[in-house]
Amino acid sequence: MPKTNLAKGIGIAGLTCGVMDISAALIVYGAMGAKPLRLLQGIAGGVLGPRAYNGGVRTALLGLLLHFVIAFSAATIFFLASRFIRFLIDQAVLSGVLYGIAVYFFMNRVVVPLSAATKYPFSVKAMLIGVVIHIFCVGIPISLNIRKYAR
């Protein structure tokens, strides 16, 4: 793949994933009463801890930036893996489903516990919502966009 396609594929996959994932989170958790500013501050809380909730718009913007850094990182990792594992390109939908699940569990069982973010008790409902969001808004958009630019 030419370098322009590589950058374009990762860029579009990361942007698509980032927009879809944060939109889904704002819609779903907003319907449950979460405020957008607080949700974004919660992401910044991974770096700043509880003081993120006292930072107003500045920490919300930091949370949004961190969210997109994670989205572009997920797209880059999938792209790099697809160079060695042809299945990821040949079976893009299935690999997207599996990748979405993997990203969810990596974030919630490795990244969040190691971060300064507020820890919440385990909930099957929250897990199922998170897994579905990650399948349809992270894994599949990344896999389909990387497949498009991998050829």
> What confidence score (pLDDT) does residue 149 get?
87
Q: Where are the alpha helices (DSSP H) in the chain?
A: 3-31, 36-48, 56-82, 87-90, 92-106, 112-114, 124-134, 140-150
> What confidence score (pLDDT) does residue 118 get?
85
> What confidence score (pLDDT) does residue 119 get?
86
> What confidence score (pLDDT) does residue 3 get?
60
Query: Phi and psi of 142, rounded to 5°?
Result: -65, -50
Domains of the chain by residue range: 3-150
User: Mean pLDDT in runs of 10 for the chain (151 residues)?
Assistant: 76 98 97 96 96 97 98 98 95 99 97 90 95 99 94 70
* 96 burial type by CB count under 10 A (0-12 exposed, 13-18 middle, 19+ buried): buried
pTM score of the predicted model: 0.93
* 113 burial type by CB count under 10 A (0-12 exposed, 13-18 middle, 19+ buried): exposed
| CA–centroid distance for 146 within its chain | 15
